[in-house]
Every structure is written in structure tokens, then in C-alpha cells.
Structure 1
Amino acid sequence: MSGKKLAITLGDPAGISPEILVKSVEKLPPNIYIIYGSKGIIDFYLKKYNKKSPFVEINSPKEAKNKGFYLINIYDKNFIPSKPSKETGKASVLYLEKAVNDILNKKVDALITLPISKEYVMLSGFKYAGHTDYLAEVSKAEEYSMVLICEKLKVALITTHIPLKDVAKNITKEKVYSKVKLVDKELKEKLKIKKPKIALLGLNPHAGDGGNIGKEEIEILIPVAEKLRKEGIDITNPLSADTAFNKYKEFDIYIAMYHDQGLIPLKLLCFRKAVNITFGLPFIRTSPDHGTGFDIAGQDKADPSSLIEAVKLADKLI
């Protein structure tokens, strides 16, 4: 065998994933790429862009022996750009399940997941709201964290895809402590940052203003930060989130309490260049930091930059 084997799941075939895949092929570092997807929709974009197919059809990763692009053709229906359905959701799940089985059995070296639609995968019977919870459960990860990375900024989330009204009750000492410990460990081991400097964001405006705008900082976050510092982790007390990102050059990562608190500044600084990585899994998993883009699929508007960055990061981490 010559080269690392990187698995790429196609995501929702009605979204922009097949388009950005076809657009990115010539821009990826040389490796063995195994695409888990449907031939028909990939061929649609190859024809649209007048490209000769680089994809060799195989049934198993063991057939991919040389650097290049391979396709495991799964659930090949007449999918149409911008027309998502229960069927496209089912396809997304089938691609993912096959790829995950292969990475758990060490047939591939890393997993890059293209965007799925939570609505349509759940319509198809998938019980998870996204990739991360599914990957953590099937791999039996004891703790995991959704982390967004770009050249300027890194952000880890304490809570992810839950309603804003449920965030506060999901911020506990145990959860914050275990996720920060994991993030510190993974920064050292995966990203080779010897002594990570971690910024902890407050939950409430002005980090609670001494308890006048919420007690979570006093009762949960400050005690956890003090405990972590005693264990040698370089972490701040909770910072007011409205100003904390002005100092992004001073920190290796921010710990955000909820999705938009961390991702809005990251996407302002790094739109189209950010990568989603899951810390805590027993394998490398990255993904582009955007959604399915049903509204622009098939219109030659999709930018492959985030996919390219996700592949480069996975390649670097193997």
C-alpha cells in the first residue's frame, strides 16, 4: 500500500456535498481517498463541470492500493440537487454507517464527513441529531467534544445542538471539568501544543457580573477553573463573552458554553476556512464547517474551501 487511506462520506446527496467533492479533487494532498456515496449524483457533477471521472469503483477499502480516488457506491438512486427527502436522508445514513464500520475495523485511517440534514436523516429513522453523538456512541467514547478550528481561532463547545432555553441546566461542574480535561489532553497529543492556554467563557452577560446576572459563574465555572488550575491546566476564570474574543491571539482555545456563543466569532474570523473536529473519538474525524446548502445545490455557488481544509487537517493528524 502507498499512502494514507482517508474515508469521505458524501453527506446528503441533494445538498452541495457532491459539488464540493468534485470541485476539490485536484486540490487535495496525494493520498488514497475512499468516497462512500452514490455514483449517479457524483457523475451528474462530473458531467456538469466536464470532468473525467477520477473515481475507481470498489467494494472494500482493501481494494484501494494506490494513491487516487475510489468510490464505494451505496444506495444509488435518482437524487436531484436541491430536492432533499427521506430518501436522501437514508442515503446519508447508509454512507456514514458503512464508513464508520470500516474505520472502527481499521480499514481506513481517518474519517471526513460531509454535511447531513438533521431533519431528513431523522425522517429516515436515524435517532441522532447529527454526526457527533452517533460517532461517540458507536465508538463508545466516554467523553467527547465538538471543536472548531481555523488558523486564527479554536473553539470547543460545552453544549452543542440543544435549544437555548436548555443550555443553563446542561452546564454542570462535572461536564465542564471533563470536557476541559479532554480538550487540554487532545491539544497536547493531537495538535502538539505543549502548554495550552485556555480561555473559559462565562454563560451569562458580563460573566454574571458578580452574581447579579446569574449565578452559574460563581457556583459552577469559577470552582471548576480553580480545580483545573490546581491540576496544572492553564485556564482563565470565566470571561465576558462579548469582549473575550478581542484577545484571541493570547489563547490556544476558547471554551464556549453554547453553540452560537463560540461559532459566531469563529465564522466571522474564518468563514469558509474553519474545520469541525471531534475530540475524544478513538479515530480522527473532521468535517467542513457548513451545512447542506440545499438552497444553492447545483448552482455552481458552493465553495469547497472548508472541505479542503478538513482533509488537510485529517491528513496532518494521521
Structure 2
Amino acid sequence: MNKPLLVTMGDAAGIGPEIIARAFRDAPSDMAGCLVVGDVATMRRAAALTASPLALPVARLDALAAAAEVPPHCIGVLQKCELAAVPYGKINAQAGQAAADCIVWAARSVLAGEACAMVTAPIHKEALAAAGGWAAAFPGHTEMLQAEAAAFLGKAAGDVPVRMMLANDELKTVLVSIHMSLRRAIEAVTFDNVLQTLRITHRAVAASLGRAPRIAVAGLNPHAGEGGLFGSEEQAIIAPAIAAACAEGLDVSGPFAPDTVFMRARHAAGKPGEFDVVVAMYHDQGLIPVKYLGVEQGVNVTLGLPLVRTSPDHGTAFDIAGKRIADASSLLAAIRMARQLVAG
């Protein structure tokens, strides 16, 4: 890749800056060509946490064109937010605004073709809300990136449908709905939303596999409704959407009982799964199985965007921020997957 890969700093009160510094220290080959979008002072504080025995130097960059000037074993930081030192582990409006500013700048750079992809360190949704203004309008990365993509394409946000995929080496799952209450998530299980999710999943996973993916669909209700005894959504909504997707040539099966479909799709050692990806009806239904297998290698991928964006499969971890124990494995997995998606 000739263009840099941008890593947004995330919430400065969390572990984002520290895991970025750890990744540069422990896996320099993976981080080659990566630039941090964030705050130099915050990254220097994080680099000091990882000193063994010396902290990596942190260089301030004022433009992407300066990337070639960053020496080896140095963290290049594009100063794209204003941020005083914030305490670790506490919700901070300034940190929320700084994180949002970095995300938007990175997204616009990738959309403009100035960078190849973006990997986002964790943000805190309450800090975004505390920031107020435009940042508070977004519950998370996905919605913010959707808005940026829509503006770039000259479309309304609703005309750029996106979905969250959480993936590791054993399991991939894509969600029909993302950040909303469970009550609203159930209401979001509509024919159009399920079919749209299947189409987005097919396109994205086919691009990475090089073939049509085998897609399993989880039901909404226990035992996938048990023939209507425990709910009618499977018969009235989900099964018709699956039939429509199959009529378009997609390899889709279900709806299956949610408590067993993820096990059937899991690719364990010596035992390949029956499916390449599972479409889940709501956030926790799909994310709990993947995270249970280990957040260390989990990666969050936003599907449907005209850019590559991945992130670690964990949050800001306020409880361990600043304690020198944060693990960079999931961030490194996100870096590697971003490179694969760009190349593939």
C-alpha cells in the first residue's frame, strides 16, 4: 500500500492511546505505514506507559504528506484535535469531542483517496453525548461514518445503508440493527431491513472470500418462533426476506434457532463450520457469541461504506486505563484485517 493507514486515537480517557502505542512498540511490521490521528501530548503520555525501558518517540505531523519523514520506530501523529490532559477512566466531554473530530478528519481523508483505510480505537458513547453539538447526534462510530459517507456521495444518510460485522478466525456475524434499545431493535426487524442486511453481507463477505458466502440467518424468537408458538416474526418477516434473497441468487439459509446457529457456523480447529457468516437480528444476539470466543482477536468491520473501516472488538476499558495492562491484540487484528480488505 502506497497510502498511509490512519488509526484514530479514540477516547483519551480510555485505553485507545495506550494500545496504539503498544502496537507500535510490539509489532512494528504490522504498524508500518500507519499514522495516528489524534493529539501528540496524549500519545506521548500513552507511549510513556509502554516504556521498556524507553518510550517510543512521538512525532507531530501537520499533513499527510509528511508521513514519509517519520523515522523508523517512531509514532507519527497528525494533530487533528485540541485536547488538554484528561484523567484516565472518567467520562470527559473534551475527550468525546476530540475523538469525534479525529474520526471525521480520518474519514474525509480516506474518502478523498488520501489514505487507504481507517482503524478506529474505542470511543465512549457517553463522552460523545457529553460533548454536545454535532458529536452528540451520533451514538457511535458507525452512524458517524455513515453520515460522512453520505455527505461525500451527495446522498441522504438513509440512502447509504451500513451494517456492523464482528469477526474473528472462528465466527463472523452481521447485525440487522446496531445501537438502539432492544424494543426498537425488535421493531427494526422488517422485511426490508433483513433483506438489505443479506444483500450487504453477501457483497462484503464475497469480496473477502472470493466466492459467494454461505449465509445463515438467526431467528428473533426462542427456537426461531417454534412454528409461531413463540412469535410470528420468523414466518411473517424473516423467512420471506430469506426467500427473496435466494431468488436473487444469494446462498442464504434459515431462520435458525438463535441458541444453536452460531455453534453450527463456528470454524473450530479441524471442524469447519456449516456457514461463512451469521446474520443476527440485533446487537447482543450477534455480538455475545463472537466476544465469548475471545475479544483479543475480534474485529469490528463496518459494511456498506465506500471506505475500509475496522476497529478492535472492545470498548474504552475505563477500569484499566492508565494501568499499563491493556492488550493491543484486537487492535493489531483490526490493522491486519484492514490491510486485507484494502488488498482484496
Q: TM-score normalized by structure 1? A: 0.95
Cα deviation, residue 156, structure 1: 0.1
8 Å Cα contact 1:15/1:84 also seen in 2: no
User: 2:211 matched to 1:194?
Assistant: yes
Say which is worse superposed, 89-98 or 196-205, in terms of deviation. Answer: 89-98
User: 2:88 matched to 1:81?
Assistant: yes
Letter in 2 for 1:39: V
**Distance in 1 separating the partners of 2:7 and 2:338:** 11
Cα deviation, residue 169, structure 1: 1.1
Say which is worse superposed, 247-256 or 222-231, in terms of deviation. Answer: 222-231
Aligned to 1:277: 301
Cα deviation, residue 47, structure 1: 2.3
**Distance in 2 separating the partners of 1:227 and 1:178:** 10
8 Å Cα contact 2:60/2:78 also seen in 1: yes
Cα deviation, residue 80, structure 1: 2.5
**Distance in 1 separating the partners of 2:319 and 2:31:** 32
Cα deviation, residue 88, structure 1: 1.0
Instruction: Report the secondary structure of 1:178's partner residue.
Output: helix
**Distance in 1 separating the partners of 2:83 and 2:186:** 43
Change (3 A) 1:4 1:206: same
How does 1:32-43 map onto structure 2 within 5 Å? 32-43=33-44
The CA deviation string for residues 53-73 of structure 1, in whole angstroms up to 9 with x for no partner, is 343211111221267542112
Aligned to 1:27: 27
Aligned to 1:110: 117
Cα deviation, residue 30, structure 1: 5.2
Aligned to 1:10: 9
How does 1:271-310 map onto structure 2 within 5 Å? 271-310=295-334
**Distance in 2 separating the partners of 1:30 and 1:223:** 45
**Distance in 2 separating the partners of 1:85 and 1:237:** 44
How many residues are treated as equivalent by the alignment?
316
User: 2:65 matched to 1:48?
Assistant: no
Say which is worse superposed, 265-274 or 169-178, in terms of deviation. Answer: 265-274
The CA deviation string for residues 107-126 of structure 1, in whole angstroms up to 9 with x for no partner, is 11100011111111111121
Which consecutive segments of 4 or more residues in structure 1 shift more than 4 A? none
**Distance in 1 separating the partners of 2:198 and 2:41:** 44
Aligned to 2:238: 221
Cα deviation, residue 275, structure 1: 0.1
Letter in 2 for 1:154: K
The CA deviation string for residues 150-199 of structure 1, in whole angstroms up to 9 with x for no partner, is 0000000001111112222111101111111111011112x134021011
8 Å Cα contact 2:301/2:311 also seen in 1: yes
Cα deviation, residue 147, structure 1: 0.3
Instruction: Report the secondary structure of 2:297's partner residue.
Output: coil
8 Å Cα contact 1:32/1:66 also seen in 2: no
**Distance in 2 separating the partners of 1:278 and 1:18:** 21
**Distance in 1 separating the partners of 2:247 and 2:289:** 30
Aligned to 1:124: 131
**Distance in 2 separating the partners of 1:79 and 1:56:** 21
The CA deviation string for residues 6-61 of structure 1, in whole angstroms up to 9 with x for no partner, is 00110100100111111111315253211111122221232233334343211111
1:162 to 169, 180, 186: 180
**Distance in 2 separating the partners of 1:231 and 1:146:** 22
Instruction: Report the secondary structure of 1:236's partner residue.
Output: strand
Change (3 A) 1:268 1:84: same
8 Å Cα contact 1:289/1:306 also seen in 2: yes
User: 2:181 matched to 1:174?
Assistant: no
Aligned to 2:149: 139
Aligned to 1:207: 224
User: 2:285 matched to 1:261?
Assistant: yes
Identity of paired residues, percent? 33
8 Å Cα contact 2:86/2:92 also seen in 1: no
Cα deviation, residue 79, structure 1: 2.1
Letter in 1 for 2:288: I
8 Å Cα contact 2:15/2:321 also seen in 1: yes
Letter in 2 for 1:108: A
The CA deviation string for residues 264-307 of structure 1, in whole angstroms up to 9 with x for no partner, is 11111232110000111001000001001111101122111100
1:233 to 239, 245, 250: 250
Change (3 A) 1:139 1:277: same
**Distance in 2 separating the partners of 1:107 and 1:88:** 26
2:76 to 66, 70, 79: 70
